[in-house]
Amino acid sequence: MSVLWVALAVVFVICLLNLMLTLAVIRRLREHTELINRGRVQPPGQGEITLPAGSQVGDFRVVTGDNREVTRDDLRDGMLVAFFSPRCPSCEEQKPAFVRYASDLPGGRDNVIAVLLGSPEELSGLREELGGLAQIVVEADVDGAMSKAFGLNGYPAFCLMGQDGVLAVTGFQVDVLPGAVAL
């Protein structure tokens, strides 16, 4: 009988160790998932999220959701261009600050372009949220015309335009924009 108790105790200890190891792996996977989700955002010093400030945006021609054609020549001094994806947790975190900033921008929605990356089905909610605030451009991915023209490397990305299609300020958080309140 004592051999049976010893065997049960060994099995119990092995199961307990297995459970502890499994919980440790799950915790580590959660940490990795969070890091991966943040990986779409370029932290400072890790390269540029778009072309750097002072660079001229490449040529592009797109049509907004309200059938307006937009080209690089339409980008004016003080215009805000933002890139979002519905699959990006950081985009969701930055969206309230973007809405506040864009709402206070002189010129209203004519001075704001939101480039949404994803399928039309994924973007329906985001289009509704930002449609009254910005001209909406939809691109399937970072190979879209505006994404290429701005040298997009991740999202969210926020670009304040200077004169002649030159980027005045760029960053992955709204608080890099002049007058923005930090989150």
The token pair at 171 is 């960053």
pLDDT at 117 over 70: yes
CATH assignment of 61-176, given 2.40.30.10, 3.40.630.10, 3.40.30.10, 3.30.230.10? 3.40.30.10
pLDDT at 97 over 70: yes
What is d(CA 113, CA 136) in angstroms, rounded to the nearest whole number? Answer: 6
What is d(CA 70, CA 165) in angstroms, rounded to the nearest whole number? Answer: 12
Is residue 46 very low, low, confident or very high in pLDDT (cuts 50, 70, 90)? very low
φ and ψ of 15, to 5 deg: -65, -40
Is residue 42 very low, low, confident or very high in pLDDT (cuts 50, 70, 90)? very low
Is residue 58 very low, low, confident or very high in pLDDT (cuts 50, 70, 90)? very high
CA-nearest of 100, 101, 81, 86 to 147 is 81
pLDDT at 85 over 70: yes
Least confident of 8-22, 36-50, 123-137, 154-168: 36-50
Q: Percent of the chain at pLDDT above 90?
A: 52
The three-point CA angle 24-30-34 to 5° equals 150
Domain boundaries, the chain: 1-38, 61-176
For residue 177, the SS3 value is: coil
Is residue 34 very low, low, confident or very high in pLDDT (cuts 50, 70, 90)? low
pLDDT at 40 over 50: no
pLDDT at 43 over 80: no
Query: Does pTM top 0.75 for this prediction?
Result: no
pLDDT in tens, 140-149: 887 899 999 9
